[in-house]
């Protein structure tokens, strides 16, 4: 890519993001989305996930500017020197999870998750789950509010809130993290090779219904969920020099 890259600007519906969209379009030339070399996403982490999902098959890199709340996956919002920032930006390539869920009526569902696949109890009663890895049962019964499989990119999101480990972005690992485990009470989860095939079976689903969530896709009343990393899909995010995703993940581990 030589000279100034062809850019397409996209913004969330938030007023600040829409105002930034107008300002950037006034300052910089814009190409049609299907001719762009870089997508500039204006919003928060949720909007970045939305744009990554939208461009799963395009392989276009996405450079985010934070006009949301946390903005872990975003860069600082600045109007000036966008071309220079993009030229020196560092890239992080991530791979999503593929979820295959079977609901109680036998319907099969598939979805992609960039952050995590989570199983959550639907009622006041705790869920009962059986966990198998690569065809071997590793835990006959986990009584909990839920459990999740998180990618390195997603390890600082819901996974971190559930006291799961933070994973370097280039680590070949997945985090398997329980949510409010009751039995075994002291189980804190596991680190899995990225090639691991995870099967989560719901025990007593009629009495203790469970939903499965892959980012923004929810399937209710599931009886079995299979999760694997999909290395056939590569997603590229761009970060300002010295503020790449590995640096942010490292910094996050030393915060209060």
CATH class of 7-94+234-252: alpha beta
* Whether 121 contacts 214, CB under 8 Å: no
Listing DSSP states for 80-106 in one string gives S-HHHHHHH-EEEEE--EEEEEEETTS
Q: Where in the chain is the domain with CATH 2.60.200.30?
A: 97-229
- CATH superfamily name and code, 97-229: Probable inorganic polyphosphate/atp-NAD kinase; domain 2 (2.60.200.30)
Tens of pLDDT, residue by residue over 110-140, are: 999 999 999 999 999 999 999 999 999 999 9
For the question of residue 170 being annotated catalytic, the response is no
Please state, in angstroms and rounded to a whole number, the distance separating the CA atoms of residues 193 and 25.
43
Tens of pLDDT, residue by residue over 136-194, are: 999 999 999 999 999 998 998 899 999 999 898 888 999 999 999 999 988 999 999 99
Q: Where in the chain is the domain with CATH 3.40.50.10330?
A: 7-94+234-252
Q: What are phi and psi of 85, to 5 degrees?
A: -65, -40
List the catalytic residue out of 16, 45, 105, 134: 45
Tens of pLDDT, residue by residue over 226-246, are: 999 999 999 999 999 877 777
């Amino acid at each position: 890519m030589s000279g100034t890259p062809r850019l397409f600007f996209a913004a969330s519906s938030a007023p600040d993001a829409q105002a930034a969209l107008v300002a950037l379009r006034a300052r910089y030339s814009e190409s049609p989305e299907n001719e762009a070399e870089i997508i500039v996403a204006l919003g928060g982490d949720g909007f970045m996930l939305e744009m990554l999902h939208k461009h799963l098959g395009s392989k276009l890199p996405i450079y985010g500017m934070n006009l949301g709340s946390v903005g872990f996956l975003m860069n600082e919002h600045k109007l000036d020197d966008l071309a220079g920032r993009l030229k020196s930006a560092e890239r992080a390539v991530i791979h999503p999870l593929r979820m295959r869920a079977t609901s109680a009526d036998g319907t099969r569902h598939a979805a992609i998750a960039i952050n995590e696949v989570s199983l959550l109890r639907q009622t006041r009663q705790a869920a009962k789950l059986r966990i198998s890895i690569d065809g071997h049962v590793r835990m006959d019964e986990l009584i909990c509010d839920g459990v999740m499989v998180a990618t390195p990119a997603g390890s600082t999101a819901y996974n971190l809130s559930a006291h799961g480990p933070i994973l370097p972005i280039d680590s070949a690992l997945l985090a398997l993290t329980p949510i409010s485990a009751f039995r075994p009470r002291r189980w804190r989860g596991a680190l899995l090779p990225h090639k691991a095939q995870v099967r989560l079976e719901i025990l007593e689903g009629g009495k203790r219904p469970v939903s499965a969530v892959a980012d923004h896709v929810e399937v209710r009343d599931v009886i079995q969920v299979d999760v694997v990393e999909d290395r056939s899909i590569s997603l590229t995010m761009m970060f300002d020099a010295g503020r790449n995703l590995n640096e942010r993940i490292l910094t996050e581990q030393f915060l209060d």
